[in-house]
Amino acid sequence: MTDQTMVLRVENISKRLGGRQILKDVSLELHRGELKVLIGPSGGGKSTLLQCINFLIPPDEGRIWLGEQQIEIHRKQDLYAYRQKVGMIFQDFNLFDHLNALDNVSIALRKVKKIARKDAEERAMRELERVGLGDKTTLYPSQLSGGQKQRVSIARALAMDPEALLLDEPTSALDPELIGEVLGVIRNLAQDGMTMIMATHQLGFIRTLADDILFMQDGQIIEQGSPAELLDAENGSRTQAFCAKLNELSDESET
Amino acid sequence: MDEWNFFIHQVVPALNRGLVQSMWLILPSASIGLCLGALVGTLRAYGPLPLRKACDIYATVFRGTPLLVQLFVLYFGLPSIGIYLSPYTAAVLGFILCTGAYQSEYVRGAFLSIRRGQLLATQALGFSSMQSMLWVILPQAMRRALPGCGNEIIYLIKYSSLAYIITFIELTGEGKILAVKYFRYTEVFFAIGLYYLFMVTLANFLLTWLEKKLYIPGFGRG
């Protein structure tokens, strides 16, 4: 699915928070249709990196391009336009508590993109059907399960026609039996050629779908490569050791 | 029968007159005070630091001193620096400033109770700060603040009775004059109590109706 068109380029991002260096000189490139996966120990900077990419946390240093255009954080209108094109999925969903599923998806279309209510709702309806929630449009967040909430949040991001999606551990706040439905939706997106960066520890998913793995530790990308390269039991990579550990833990919890 | 005549011909007309005067105090004080509280509460939650501090000081002063003292300062104190307020103006001004300080506390609390994640979500979708405020933060904060703000309005209905001490004759004032004149404290004050109970019940009814109208499943409950 990957072609050589550059969608997103991140160059030398650094960030200090509370006197601690969270990100050190991180760079990455994302091509059209590519799925890059961020893994690594918690506190390694995965979440901060994703939030720096759409300036929810402004990086101290570094530059970011969307296609050919370098993003100037100080030009508010440019920043808002950029964020509309880079969707974000949060670990804890962050749905709007006062809106039902349909309005959660359509509100940004109506208020930010200024699309007429009827068209916005039609579009929202299509996106909710795409994530398998066509029959849940009138329910409020408190009436949805975790997996359903995360699927609404994916529909909300998709409705904006993003050029890339940033997914920050989208399944780690979910009960084990709900993970599958969310991963299923993301899998379909990957197969349809959506460009994505995703922090996740779902190894099965990573093995089958990731084009590239970025292993992050102490605010740096210390290893990068395809799943075949990095997860090969023979190669002694840091990534492989980490994943073996994850495997052990998940085996233990299942027995 | 004498009792009955006293009530119909003396108490009811006087208290009705007082009720109208009380309404003149309560309605502007409650509505302007609520707006002031919303503004101050917003600034205390999100305002730039100097403004936030100034609003904090305002709230501390007006929540920290007795309303009666505030009214005395406005009515008896200000003339010494050449500002003369009518009893009505002094009372309404005092009520607005006092209720505004309390309302700001409820509004501030409501803003702070909204999960930061939702703000992040609006930013990630390309909302401007104004748009997130208008379409996501305010509709939720309003619902969260409603019970507290309603409670403050109910308080205001009752402490509006302090206006008679700075010579604005409203419900309590009319009643007091009557009670002294006929030396019938028990009946008159009992009747005054019923009038306040009536106003509070009415306000409560409206607030409950509003809360129901704004109800959203699961929101603000658990």
Contact B127 A80 (CB under 8 A): yes
CB A85 within 8 A of CB A162: yes
Segment B94-118 shows an average pLDDT of 95
* 8 Å CB contact of B219 and A84: no
**Above 90 in pLDDT, residue B199?**
yes
Q: Look up residue B64 and give its two tokens.
A: 């920290």
Closest Cβ opposite residue B120 in set A56, A108, A142? A56
d(CA A18, CA B147): 38
- Is A185 contained in some domain? yes
Yes or no: say if B136 and A103 are a contact pair by the CB < 8 Å rule: no
When pLDDT is cut at 50, 70 and 90, the band that residue A232 belongs to is confident
Summarize the confidence of residues B57-82 as an average pLDDT.
96
Least Cα separation, residue B120 to chain A (angstroms): 7
Q: Do B124 and A88 touch (CB under 8 A)?
A: yes
Three-class SS state of B22: helix
Q: How far is B123 from chain A (nearest CA, A)?
A: 7
CA distances (Å), B198 to each of B30, B149, B190, B191, B192, in order? 17, 19, 12, 11, 10
Nearest CA in chain A to B222: A142
**Contact B125/A143, CB-based, under 8 Å?**
no
CB pair distance less than 8 Å for A112 and B118: no
Q: Is A76 within the bounds of a domain?
A: yes
Q: What is the pLDDT of residues A28-52, one digit of tens each?
A: 999 999 999 999 988 889 999 999 9
Q: Which of A98, A123, A136 to mutate to test the interface with B (most CBs of B within 10 A)?
A: A98
> Between A and B, how many residue pairs show a Cβ–Cβ distance under 8 A?
81
What's chain A's Rg over C-alpha atoms?
Answer: 18
For residues A134-143, give the mean pLDDT. 94
CB < 8 Å to A58, chain B? none
Q: What is the overall mean pLDDT for chain A?
A: 91
Among A84, A139, A153, the residue with its CB nearest the CB of B126 is: A84
Q: How far is CA A159 from CA A37, A86, A107, A129, B141, in A?
A: 23, 12, 10, 12, 26
Q: Which of A80, A94, A96 sits opposite B126 (nearest CB)?
A: A80
CATH code, domain carrying A217: 3.40.50.300
Contact (CB<8Å) A142/B121: no
> What pLDDT score does A191 carry?
93
Q: Is residue A73 included in any domain, yes or no?
A: yes
- What pLDDT shows up at residue B222? 41
- Cα separation, B172 vs B115, in Å, equals 44
Residue A249 pLDDT more than 80? no
Q: Give the Cα-Cα-Cα angle A81, A160, A216 (nearest 5 degrees).
A: 80
Q: How confident is the model over B1-60, as pLDDT tens digits? A: 577 888 888 899 999 999 999 999 999 999 999 999 999 999 999 999 999 999 999 999
pLDDT at A255 over 80: no
Q: What are the structural domain ranges in chain B?
A: 2-213
Domain span at residue A51 reads: 6-100+165-254
B123 phi/psi in degrees, rounded to 5: -60, -40
Q: Which of B123, B131, B136 minimises the CB distance to A96?
A: B136
**Would you say residue A74 has pLDDT above 90?**
no
Residue B129 forms contact with A (CB below 8 Å): no
> Do B32 and B96 contact (CB within 8 A), yes or no?
yes
The angle at the Cα of B202, spanning B111 to B4, to the nearest 5 degrees, equals 155
CB contacts of B115 in chain A (<8 Å) are 94, 97
What's the rounded mean pLDDT across residues A120-137? 96
Please answer yes or no on whether A97 and B124 come within 8 Å at the CB atom. Answer: no
* Nearest residue on chain A to B136, alpha-carbon basis: A96
In a domain, A84, yes or no: yes
Tell me if the domain spanning B2-213 has CATH number 1.10.3720.10: yes
Cβ neighbours of residue A172 under 8 Å, at least 6 residues apart? Answer: A91, A200, A201
Tokens of A104: 């959660």
Helix B87-112 and helix B12-46, axial crossing angle in degrees, nearest 10: 40
Rounded to a whole number, what is the distance in angstroms from the first to the last CA of chain B?
56
Q: Inspect the interface and report whether the beta carbons of B124 and A92 lie closer than 8 Å.
A: no
Per CB-CB distance under 8 Å, the chain B contacts of A136 are none
Nearest CA to A32 among A55, A9, A10? A9
Q: How confident is the model at residue B151 (pLDDT cuts 50, 70, 90)?
A: very high
